[in-house]
Amino acid sequence: MSDNEIEDVSFLPGESLHRRAVYERGIIQRFRFVACTKAKIALGLVLVVLIIIIVALSATIANHQDTEKSSSEKVIENEKQQTTTLTPVSTPNYTATNGQPFPYHNIRLPHSVTPVSYKMYMHPNISESFFTGHVSIICDVNENTDFIVFHAKGLTIMTIKVSDNSVPTNLFGVVNWLEHEDNEQIYVRLMKYLPKGLKINMYIEYNGTLGTLLHGFYKSSYLSSSNEKRYIATTHFEPTHAREAFPSFDEPAMKATFEMTMIRDEQHFSLFNMPLKVSTKLDNGLYQDEFETSVKMSTYLVAFVVCDYKNVSETTKRKIQVRVFAPPDFIGSASYALEVAVKVIDYYEDYFGVKYPLPKQDLIAIPDFEAGAMENWGLITYRMADVLYDRDTASTHNKQNIAVVIAHELAHQWFGNLVTMDWWDDLWLNEGFASYVEYLGTDIVDHDWRMGDQFVTDALLRAAYLDSLANSHPISQPVSDPGQINELFDAISYSKGASIIRMLNNYIGEDVFKAGLVSYLNKYNYGNAQTQDLWSSLSEAASHAKLNTNVTRLMNTWTGQTGYPVVKVTRSRDKMTLTQSRFLLNTSPNAQNGTPSPYGYKWEIPFCYTTQTEPERPVKQLLTDVTATVDGILGDWVKGNCGMYGFYRVNYDPDTWRGIIRQLNQNHTVFSVPERAGLLDDAFMLARVGQLDYSVALDLSLYLVNEEDYVPWSSFLDSIAFLSDRLESKPVYSAFKAYLLKLMMNRLKTISEKDWLKFENISDLEKYLKAAIIDKAVGLGYAPVLENGRQQFMSWLTNKTRVKEWGQEYGPLAPFCFFNLNVDLKAVIYMTGVMTGDGTVWESVWKRYNEARDDNEKRKLLYALASTKEARLLSRLLHSSLNESEVRSQDAPMALSSVATSYTGQILAWRFLQQNWDTIVSRYGDTSFMIPSFIKSACSNFDSKFDYEDVRSFFEAHDPKSGKRAIQQVLEKIQANINWVSQYEQKVVDWLNKKSH
């Protein structure tokens, strides 16, 4: 280790204890050679005297030099001390792009200069794919300093000027500016000091590329009805991409106001977070759009779009203007989103007790979009499939999804926009709340969807699976660089965050919970908050309501450590013992258990239970210790986690499990719909890790012959997919299929007794169940359903051919009309046709995919194309996913994941990822949300040591970029799969063989 490396040891990964050891061990070893002879002692005394003199002189020189240190050096030292908990993934090389040393050594910006307002001028040249701009940033000087550091990435900066804001002629000369690519920072050295308390104006001219990376300021396109390719310019800035569009202080706590001037051509118009103030035609024929100044907000929420769209509009009860923008040919599909948005805004204003703070709310469909949607304040951007609803192509589930996404993004207008997390380690404050509240907002749109029940399968159980991994992460997770930040956009921040909020709401009560939220929103509005601020507000509300609940202490055990508990219920006579322990998917002795927990992997659990004798009377108890005993438990069974409000699993002693199974077989409706879903998931996950005998889980599932509700079936089909993947290539698979078909037979009979294409007079969740059962029957190769689906597919294919010939008579939209397919069964009918068809059929569907213009329709067709059993066609689909003219880059992860779900396609998808890794990283960027998606889709289902080593060695040789945590999780899943095959597969085989006989 060189001297320089020792000086930079504060940037090394690890705890301070390790850093201290580096120094102390060196000192001990350095003096170990001294021997106890008189001569050596005398020599040693002389050396000691010399050392003391040298040290004294050095201290004097150092003190003198310290008084001469520049402001920049002092602030840098202060910033190092302030952010010692934020350590980069590796020791960075602080060299600027011109080869000079980069003076500032921190991933976080200094607070010596902070922004107050931005005046932005943008001129995109869409046809030539570049933009020019300049920005004036008024800043507060908080400390004496002779330097400024801000963010920029991929921009060419031509001019930087710094002046006194009140005296513009008073310039602070710029000595030079340096760029650090890794930290995406610009360092500006000034000729003289900026005094504390001054307001300055920093003026920057720059230009950049209008690229296709799906973040920053980028270019997107769509096809008109006349097959003309039209382009738009749009933005996506979360989490750290505003710096790719304009120089900025791109951290969430550095809030400011924004004023925009946009230059555009006549055929376009522009949109911004705020309403248009004035539009002026310039002498060169271009137009200049000037917008009203925004409220104080974070850079990642800024948005602007230049396009030629149409819109539909309406106002809320308080006369807030709501508009939905879409390409002209699709504006007829925008009405549903408008209806949802108006209804949800009105509801949220009432629920939060805080008025929506802007004069307008726009929703706009973007043809190429990395995320599902983005909550930019006043200008929310969406994938087209997540905002446009066409009743001829979109299923009921698509319709629900549109409502959910809109409700989620509108929730952010309060949670995230009005009150923003202080730093990305508390991302869950944004996403967890929006993911919880979206269910409330969507339920207002349509009560028939029973969003409270669907929460269990769509959010809670999804999060519980990911959080079963040792390589999961706490809800509040320290992060530093953009790649780490992107890793937090997962089911932990979203669904686990939503689940623990729902659990707390249920425990302290809706009135207390809402009072705490209102206090939180009002206290931190237009500012930033941390997790502890939320707990403080809710604790105060609980205290005012005279609840004996320490919300902070309780909830810290859920946000401050990875994972969640399983509560073991053991009964003896009329007593019940509760024992909590961490639930882990990989239980092998050599498994990593992640980082140590400050709470020792012990949780304060709002435990709730009912008994057979009083099934309607839930009893709540806060479990704060590892074990607790409850008296007076009577009856054949006890059921923990009432209503599935708790983020924990429950295991029972064998007698209690048998009592629960008897109850399910006698009258399963004694347990609520969410409870039945939870029992199924708990049983199969506990069996999967060896905490429950598989015969119990499989015996419990037999009650499903009488289950008529979608939610428990959804839970079961998700759980059983793991067994299907493990057994598909084994001789026992025929017995496994027979077991599933036996469970499904009553539902299949109900379907066959009626026309399975007709969904009239049934609820939406009944439609979901009907479609799910048909889909599973097709996957199992059940002949009657398979043949029915094949016939319907061929009728569709014939109709499509005929309609294509009628294009002249019925106009350009005729090839995209559908006459005889139920929209809720389109996906499974397309899949059935491709599964049972040959290469000619596949080519026909591929052609339909390329002709289709509706995004929901394209998704269904793309999924169907991946269901072919021909490896040649799967490989072709994978390679087409990297061709933008065939598959949009936003849909490539779906193509790969769809291929990887089949037995044939799994290895093809992995080999494709290996062969095209560099292309994928180049196409999406090294901090993209999509990188982890590619990794997890291609690798998670392997279950052999060979595959484990193949994945591990590949990513040892190739940087996974923003997928580092995804690699750790994938390897953990593969190891757990390997363990399952060796330890538990035979138990399932024995049960299936016994039942089949």
Which residue segment(s) compose the domain that 915 sits in? 870-997
pLDDT surpasses 80 at 25? no
Contacts of 122 (CB under 8 A, 6+ apart): 131, 132, 133, 217, 245, 246, 260, 261, 262, 263, 304
Angstrom distance (rounded) from CA 200 to CA 164: 5
573 and 552 assigned to the same domain: no
Q: Which of 237-241, 597-601, 608-612, 812-816 has the lowest mean pLDDT?
A: 812-816
Angstrom distance (rounded) from CA 866 to CA 855: 17
**What's the whole-number mean pLDDT along residues 538-553?**
94
pLDDT surpasses 80 at 384? yes
Query: What's the CATH number where 570 sits?
Result: 2.60.40.1910
pLDDT surpasses 90 at 808? no
Query: What's the CATH number where 174 sits?
Result: 2.60.40.1730
Q: Which of 403-412, 632-641, 731-740, 792-801 has the lowest mean pLDDT?
A: 792-801
Report pLDDT for 804. Answer: 38
Would strands 321-326 and 310-315 be described as parallel, antiparallel, or unpaired?
Answer: antiparallel
Query: What are the pLDDT digits (tens) for 687-734?
Result: 999 999 999 999 999 999 999 999 999 999 999 999 999 999 999 999
Residue 202's beta-bridge partner residues? Answer: 137, 162
**What's the whole-number mean pLDDT along residues 748-757?**
73
444 and 516 assigned to the same domain: yes
pLDDT surpasses 60 at 83? no
For the annotated catalytic residues, the residue numbers are 409
How does residue 799 score in pLDDT terms, banded at 50, 70 and 90? confident
Q: How many CB atoms are closer than 10 A to CB 631?
A: 8
Contacts of 271 (CB under 8 A, 6+ apart): 303, 304, 305, 306, 307, 325, 362, 364, 379
Please state whether the peptide bond connecting residue 239 to the residue before it is cis, i.e. omega within 30 degrees of 0.
yes
980 found inside a domain? yes
Report pLDDT for 591. Answer: 63
911 and 939 assigned to the same domain: yes
Query: What's the CATH number where 933 sits?
Result: 1.25.50.20
pLDDT surpasses 50 at 41? no
499 and 639 assigned to the same domain: no
pLDDT surpasses 50 at 300? yes
Helix, strand, coil % in the chain, rounded to nearest 5: 50, 20, 30
How does residue 754 score in pLDDT terms, banded at 50, 70 and 90? low
Report pLDDT for 758. Answer: 72
pLDDT surpasses 70 at 68? no
Report pLDDT for 793. Answer: 94
> What total of structural domains would you count in the chain?
5
pLDDT surpasses 60 at 802? no
392 found inside a domain? yes
pLDDT surpasses 90 at 593? no
386 and 454 assigned to the same domain: no
Q: How many CB atoms are closer than 10 A to CB 860?
A: 24
Report pLDDT for 398. Answer: 96
Boundary residue ending a domain (413, 437, 467): 413
174 and 213 assigned to the same domain: yes
Report pLDDT for 711. Answer: 98
pLDDT surpasses 60 at 59? no
Angstrom distance (rounded) from CA 37 to CA 896: 74
Query: What are the pLDDT digits (tens) for 242-299?
Result: 999 999 999 999 999 999 999 999 999 999 999 999 999 999 999 999 999 999 999 9
244 found inside a domain? yes
Report pLDDT for 800. Answer: 53
pLDDT surpasses 70 at 50? no
pLDDT surpasses 60 at 61? no
How does residue 486 score in pLDDT terms, banded at 50, 70 and 90? confident
pLDDT surpasses 70 at 22? no
63 or 923, greater pLDDT: 923
500 and 392 assigned to the same domain: no
Boundary residue ending a domain (357, 381, 413): 413
Helix (H, G, I), strand (E, B) or coil at 270: strand
484 or 905, greater pLDDT: 905
Query: What are the pLDDT digits (tens) for 107-163?
Result: 999 999 999 999 999 999 999 999 999 999 999 999 999 999 999 999 999 999 999
**What's the whole-number mean pLDDT along residues 48-71?**
39
127 and 227 assigned to the same domain: yes
Query: What are the pLDDT digits (tens) for 944-969?
Result: 999 999 999 999 999 988 899 999 99
404 and 479 assigned to the same domain: no
Give the percent of the chain with pLDDT over 90: 81
Give the percent of the chain with pLDDT over 70: 88
879 found inside a domain? yes
Residue 204's beta-bridge partner residues? Answer: 135, 160
pLDDT surpasses 70 at 96? yes
Report pLDDT for 962. Answer: 86
323 and 436 assigned to the same domain: no
pLDDT surpasses 90 at 849? yes
**What's the whole-number mean pLDDT along residues 652-660?**
97
**What's the whole-number mean pLDDT along residues 542-557?**
95
588 found inside a domain? yes
Q: Which of 46-55, 347-356, 933-942 has the lowest mean pLDDT?
A: 46-55
Boundary residue ending a domain (360, 379, 413): 413
Query: What are the pLDDT digits (tens) for 821-844?
Result: 889 999 999 999 999 999 999 999
pLDDT surpasses 70 at 469? yes
342 or 91, greater pLDDT: 342
- The answer to whether the CB of 382 falls within 8 A of the CB of 446 is no
How does residue 573 score in pLDDT terms, banded at 50, 70 and 90? confident
580 and 480 assigned to the same domain: no
Give the pTM.
0.89
Angstrom distance (rounded) from CA 263 to CA 277: 14
966 found inside a domain? yes
251 found inside a domain? yes
pLDDT surpasses 60 at 535? yes
Report pLDDT for 759. Answer: 76
Q: Please give the mean pLDDT across all residues of the chain.
A: 88
759 found inside a domain? no
Q: Cα-flanking dihedrals φ and ψ of residue 743, to 5°?
A: -65, -35
228 and 358 assigned to the same domain: no
Query: What are the pLDDT digits (tens) for 222-252?
Result: 999 899 999 999 999 999 999 999 999 999 9
- The answer to whether the CB of 690 falls within 8 A of the CB of 469 is no
Q: Which amino acid is at 195?
A: P
